[in-house]
Every structure is written in C-alpha cells, then in structure tokens.
Chains A and B, each alone.
Chain A
Amino acid sequence: MKIIVCIKQVPDTTEVRLDPKTGTLIREGVPSIMNPDDKAGLEAALRLKDEYGAHVSVITMGPYQAKAVLREAFAMGADAAYLVTDRAFAASDTWATSSILAGAISKLEYDLIITGRQAIDGDTAQVGPEIAEHLGIPNVSYAEELHLEGDEIVVKRQFEDYSHLVRAKLPALITAMGELNTPRYMTPGGIFDAFRAKEIVEWNRVDVPVDDGDIGYRGSPTRVVKSFPKTVKVPGMKIEEGVEESAEFILDKLKEKYLL
C-alpha cells in the first residue's frame, strides 16, 4: 500500500500575534511547526504502515525552510519526502496550491492520500478536498477514526453533534482532524537518518504538470482584502438561581438585547 501525506509548515499560532496597525501576522521570531492536523494525518498513515505495512511519502509545497517539516516526518518514520518549491508557486491561494499539489501527486503512485483538515495559519480546509477533485478520487473529510477493510477505507467523519461512518473505495483522499490520534515523537535515530541518510526530492516548476494559469498569484482567484483581530469576547455571566428563575433571567436578557 502506498500512502501520500500532505503536510505544511506553519507558524506556531499559539505564539503568533497580529500587528495591530497593519492587521498582518507578525511572523518574525515565531517558531515554525508541522501543522497539527497534518501531523495527525501523518500519524494515521504511520499507524496504517505499522498495522498493514505501507510506504509513506510526505509532500509539502513551500520555501526551502519547509524541509524542516519533511525531516521531522522522516524522523517520525516516513519513507520518502518531496519538496515542491519554486518562486512561480509563491502567493498561491487554495485553488492554485491544490492544483500544484495534485499535479505533483499525479506523478506518484498512491492508494490513499491524507491531508490535514486545515492549516492553523489559513483555516480554509479547502486544499485537501480540492486535491481530491483535481485527481478525480473520492474525498472524506474530518476523519476522527479510520481503518482499512479490503480495498476500502472506513472513516468516522465528524459533524457538529453527530458522526458519519463513511466507506470509500481506494484510491481516496481523507482529511484528518487533530482528534484522530496523538502523534508519536520523533526518534533520535530517526532524526540522524533524516539529515544523514535520507534524501528530500525537490521538484520545481518544470517538474510539476500544472497549467500556468493555475499557479501563483495570477492563478489564484482568492484575494485577502484585510486581516484584523477578532473582537475579544466579554466574560460570561454566571446565574446561581433555581431552574425557573434562571430561565426567566436568560429570557429577559435576550429580549433586552433584541435577540428574541
């Protein structure tokens, strides 16, 4: 079985702040990490490898610094790593990114593609499903549990207050939730091998079969008009009355704010 996991290097948003004047992310001095949902996706792939035997490849699009997350994936147990990088790919939105990644993936053999549900720096949750569309394979998003049954993948798919159990014939793409698992640690020996024994394959514009109209800034239909911090929620109010009184109090408050 061949599994491809799409991963992304993102700023650790627990440590990132917005510049209040420009409304843009202050990325300086912020550590970069593997996107948490992607890491859960990689862990899912490695567990399938442990259980059924599989070849796990990781792929990322990004600048050279993104090699760090590919090495981290090697150190966790990935077998092959691909860096898709070119100035022509810069400023790609989700459409362009998914077009480029799908082009790159089409050069590889795969039974299963796993992406993270969404990246913590963009929160779009679009790239995974779009890759599936480009490749013409089934897509199951929001996976919180999964296992293989013959040539099918069975996924418990999270909804707001209930779940779906979905089967998809392989090859398929699933998007992984952080809740899927707790990713393993790298091993010390895996880290050494990631730097000394394993090679990252680098693909540039010429290596990726994708239309010029679908890449980079010009291939991106999305425009971010403005980024700004969310208004901070005011602290809640605690009512310590009986059930009836509390319900009445809440109704009054809602009416007071013209919400009812």
Chain B
Amino acid sequence: MDFSLKNEYEMARTLFRDFAQKEVAPLAVEIDENHRFPTETLKKMQQNGFMGIPFSKEWGGQGCDYLTYVLAVEEISKVCGTTGVILSAHTSLGAGAINELGTPEQKEKFLRSLVDGRKLGAFALTEPDAGTDAAGQQTKAVLDGDEWVINGNKIFITNAGEADIYVVFAMTDKSAGTRGISAFIVEKGTPGFEFGVNEKKMGIRGSATRELIFRDCRIPKENLLGREGKGFGVAMGTLDGGRIGIAAQALGIAEGALEKTIEYVKERKQFGRPISAFQNTQFTLAEMKTEIEAARYLVYLAASKFDKGEKFGTEAAMAKLKASRVASWVTDQAVQLHGGYGYIQDYEIERMMRDAKITEIYEGTSEVMLMVISGALLK
C-alpha cells in the first residue's frame, strides 16, 4: 500500500497551488463581499485546461483522471470555496453526466465545448418540493413530435445563469415514480428557459445559485440524455462522482483554514508570548491536522476507486461525510483560535467557516451520506 502521490500528481498540485495563489486568492474576499461570480477567473481556468481535467482527449479534455481533478478542487478551495464549487459542479455534474451517458453525437455537440473550456456546465435536480427526496420531481417533459416540452422549476442550481449547458431532470411518466424520471440537455437561450434571482447565501457567495424556470421550453428530441425513464439512475450516479468533488472542496477549505491559523498563532502575542506557545493552541492545531489527514485519505481513496473503474459510491459518501464535517469543525476551531479577529472579514477565516457549512448540505446532506453508507452495510 503506497500512500504517496506519483510525480505527475505532485507536479499537477504545484500547478494548481500556483494558479490558486496567483489568480484565485486575490479575488476571494471581493467576490464574497459582492456576491459576484468570478468570470475572469473562470476564463483563466478555461484557457488553462482546468475545466476538462478528468475527460478524454478524444472529446477535447485533458486526459487526466479524477484524482487530478480532486487535487485541483482541493488547491483552489484552499483559497476560495466559491471557485472550488464552480469547478466541481461543472466537472462532476454538468460535464460528468454527459460524459457518462451521452451518445457520441451528444458528446461532440455538448461535451467537447464543456471540457475544452468554451462553455460552462450545470446540473439541475433539486426542486422546491424535491430536495433529499429527489423522486418527488414536479417538472414535466412531454414529447411533442420531434421535441420535448419542459415545464417546471428547479431551485438552488449552482452555476445557473452563468452556465451554457444544463443537465435537467424531469418526469416523463408521473405514474412510474423514480422510473418516470428522465434526463435532458438544455442550452441557455432556449426559448421558455429563464432564470430566477441569484440567491443571497451564507457562504460560497461568489457562486451563482439561481432558479431555473421552464415554461413550454422546447428542446430537440435528441437532447434526451440516457434512456427515457432512466434519469434517476443518471442523477444518483452523477451525484456519486459529485460527492468526491465536494469532499475535495471541503478538504481544501479545511486545509486553507489550518494554514491561515498556523500563520496567525505564530504572530499573535498574548501574555508576552505568541499564542502558538500555549498548549491549548498546539493541541487544537494537532487535532485539526489529524482530522484533515483522515479526511484526505478518504477523499483520495474514493477518487482512486473511481479511476480504477471500481464501485466507489460508498467511499464517495464516506469521503463527503467526513471531509464536510472536518471542514465545518476545523474552520470553527480556526475562528476560535483567531479570537475576535477571526470574526472580522479581513482575516478571511470567517468566510471559510461560512463556506464550509454548505459542504454538509449540497450534493446530498450528511444524513443522505449516512443512508448511503448504512445501506451498503446492511444490504
């Protein structure tokens, strides 16, 4: 068993870290404060191949793997959780679903532009009454001649409004329950497809989170993704991969908070000594680091299993459960060690704490992760 990363992964990490420091970190405070989508950073990520990391060169991707993509999300999230989730939602969900289930024609038409950096992707499953209970979809799609007609609303959609290509789930047979859900590819600009307001969020404020509104939105018949009635499986399979991305985001946020805290405790003096001289500080840092490393290996394990083509759903759930809890706990401890300064915007720690919380909620709550893991134990 070898826990070290091969040289190519280390060099990729160096690239991602360098990029994150130079291009992402300088904007992190401002985009959070103004709830502003970092268009300029996205453009740079697109130009440098970051939006197609795990996808085949055949479709314009980078030909790397999920582990490399995880390192990218991790390093970027160390300095900015917002930018981490933009990359993750695009890669794992939007492009990921089309990569897994698209026909060669769909891949040529949609996947290529997503992974070569021309377009941004998104994934729309959640509805006002269908969150964790994804089977309660109300959005409907009806075949009319050569077109599907979609009606309904999706909420809390990451990258909404900014993305060009959306994987959208809708009921094609209400009577069939989860077997009546189908997946579709919808392009921005299609008549009858509009966006709601950008949600004001607690964290990851620079990311776009909006409602998708479909009113008699007509899309070509051939935009059905996968088979009719098989959408629920598409959603669940895609989310398994997405959870690894979110786990990587959580891991990165936690590491970023620890790095900032280590710098801070060496400089902050109380009672005539840097607070790093106090055992309370030392032990807290040790606990933080240990939790982070435990999370890291679960995240990398899930990514490795994905890359080997093995079953990884349970590992992805464990990775997300652990890493998201670690992110919340570590950032909480980081604020505590920063004291009053930790509560002030300039020190960035409070942002990391706000960014961390969502990782316990989206792409499956921690409770859903517990269901997935226990389900595997008891089957």
Contact in complex: A188, B15 (CB < 8 Å): yes
Q: Which residues of A contact B7 (CB under 8 A)?
A: 195
Residue among A72, A187, A188, A196 with the highest chain B CB neighbour number at 10 A: A188
Measured between C-beta atoms, what is the minimum distance from A11 to chain B in Å? Answer: 16
Contact with B along A181-199 (1 / 0, CB 8 A): 0001111111111111000
Tell whether A186 pairs with B11 under 8 Å between CB atoms, given A192-B63, A192-B64, A192-B68. yes
* B8 contacts A by Cβ under 8 Å: yes
**A76 shortest CB reach to chain B, Å:** 10
Q: Is B287 an interface residue (CB 8 A)?
A: no
B10-36 interface mask toward A, CB cutoff 8 Å, 1 = contact, 0 = none? 011001001100000000000000000
B64 touches A189 (CB 8 A): yes
- Taking a contact as CB atoms under 8 Å apart, the answer to whether B62 and A194 are in contact is no
A120 to chain B minimum Cβ distance, whole angstroms, is 17
Interface residues on A, range: 10 to 19
**Is A6's CB within 8 Å of the partner chain B?**
no
B59 at the interface (CB under 8 A from A): no
A122-B61 Cα distance, complex, nearest whole Å: 40
Counting CB contacts under 8 A, is B53 at the interface?
A: yes
Question: Which of chain B's residues have a CB closer than 8 A to the CB of A5?
Answer: none
Q: Is A75 on the interface with B (CB-CB < 8 A)?
A: yes
- Residues in B with CB closer than 8 Å to A186 are 11, 15
A189 touches B57 (CB 8 A): yes
Interface residues of A in 195-230 (CB under 8 A from B): 195-196
Bound form: Cα–Cα A240–B53 in Å = 57
A71 located at the interface, meaning its Cβ lies under 8 Å from any Cβ of chain B in the complex: yes
Contact B8 A185 (CB under 8 A): no
A184 and B68 alpha carbons, distance in the complex (Å) = 19
**Known pairs A195-B7, A195-B8; A188 contacts B57 (CB<8 A):** no
Closest chain A residue to B16 by CB distance?
Answer: A188
- B49 in the interface (beta carbon within 8 A): yes
Interface residues of B in 155-171 (CB under 8 A from A): none
What is the size, in residues, of chain B's interface with A at 8 Å between Cβ atoms? 20
Do the beta carbons of B15 and A191 come within 8 Å of each other?
A: yes
Interface of chain B residues 293 through 334 with chain A (CB within 8 A)? none
- Which residue in A184, A191, A196 is a CB contact (below 8 Å) of B12? A191
Q: Would A187 and B62 count as touching, CB distance under 8 A?
A: yes
A191:B48 contact, CB within 8 angstroms:
no
Is B72's CB within 8 Å of the partner chain A? yes
Whether B50 is near chain A, meaning CB under 8 Å from some CB there, is yes
Find out whether the CB atom of B49 lies under 8 angstroms from the CB atom of A196: no
How far apart are A181's CB and chain B's nearest CB, in angstroms? 15
- Nearest Cβ distance between residue B33 and chain A, in whole angstroms? 27
Q: Which residues in A have their C-beta under 8 angstroms from that of B49?
A: 187-190
Across the two chains, which residue of chain B brings its CB closest to A185? B48
Q: Which of B11, B68, B72 contacts A72 (CB 8 A)?
A: B11
Q: Which residues of B contact A194 (CB under 8 A)?
A: 8, 11
**Could you write out 20 A-B pairs with CB less than 8 Å apart?**
A71-B11, A75-B11, A75-B15, A185-B15, A185-B19, A186-B15, A188-B49, A188-B50, A188-B53, A189-B53, A189-B57, A189-B62, A189-B64, A191-B11, A191-B12, A192-B8, A192-B64, A193-B63, A194-B11, A196-B8
- Interface residues of chain A, those whose CB is within 8 Å of chain B, are 68, 71-72, 75, 184-196
Known: A185-B18, A189-B52. 17 other contacts (CB 8 A): A71-B11, A185-B19, A185-B48, A186-B11, A188-B68, A188-B72, A189-B53, A189-B57, A189-B62, A189-B63, A191-B12, A191-B64, A192-B12, A192-B63, A192-B64, A195-B11, A196-B8
In the complex, the 9 A-B pairs of residues with the closest C-beta atoms, listed nearest first? A189-B62, A187-B49, A195-B8, A188-B62, A185-B48, A188-B64, A186-B15, A188-B53, A189-B63
